[in-house]
Amino acid sequence: AQKITQTQPGMFVQEKEAVTLDCTYDTSDPSYGLFWYKQPSSGEMIFLIYQGSYDQQNATEGRYSLNFQKARKSANLVISASQLGDSAMYFCAMRVNAGGTSYGKLTFGQGTILTVHP
């Protein structure tokens, strides 16, 4: 069975500074994908970034980058130049290649509430 762990219930960061949100995972499947989503108070799930288990380079999307350390089974999200609008709940999620239509079956971590201070 797969498991995703986010050990930081809450994080605080000063505006314009960088912040790292931790995520560790556990799976015995060699083929998997790791996702980060942002959930503001409205509830919508906003896709941020994706990293495949076979990807050689760390994924980046604008101010978001994923620090993928395969041997340590960690997939930390780095947000650079934090903005007030970044305040939200952030979820790390994993999908394993279990065949068929399982690609949409995401297992989510507990989430981290990020608060950006002005």
Partner 1 sequence: GAVVSQHPSRVICKSGTSVKIECRSLDFQATTMFWYRQFPKKSLMLMATSNEGSKATYEQGVEKDKFLINHASLTLSTLTVTSAHPEDSSFYICSVGDWETQYFGPGTRLLVL
What residue ranges bind partner 1 (CB under 8 A)?
A: 33, 35, 37, 42-45, 47, 50, 52, 89, 91, 93, 95, 101, 103-111, 113
Closest contact distance (angstroms) between CB of 79 and partner 1 is 19
Closest contact distance (angstroms) between CB of 67 and partner 1 is 19
Whichever of 78 and 113 has its CB closer to partner 1, that residue is: 113
Positive or negative, the Cα torsion across 92, 97, 99, 100?
positive
Whichever of 81 and 103 has its CB closer to partner 1, that residue is: 103
Whichever of 67 and 107 has its CB closer to partner 1, that residue is: 107
Nearest to 23 by CA among 114, 95, 91, 116: 91
Closest contact distance (angstroms) between CB of 22 and partner 1 is 15
User: What is the Cα–Cα distance from 30 to 39, expressed in whole angstroms?
Assistant: 28
Closest contact distance (angstroms) between CB of 54 and partner 1 is 12
CA angle 27, 8, 57 (to 5 degrees): 50
Count CB-CB contacts under 10 A for residue 4: 21
Query: Tokens representing 42?
Result: 């409205």
Query: Residue 103, SS3?
Result: helix
Whichever of 6 and 82 has its CB closer to partner 1, that residue is: 6
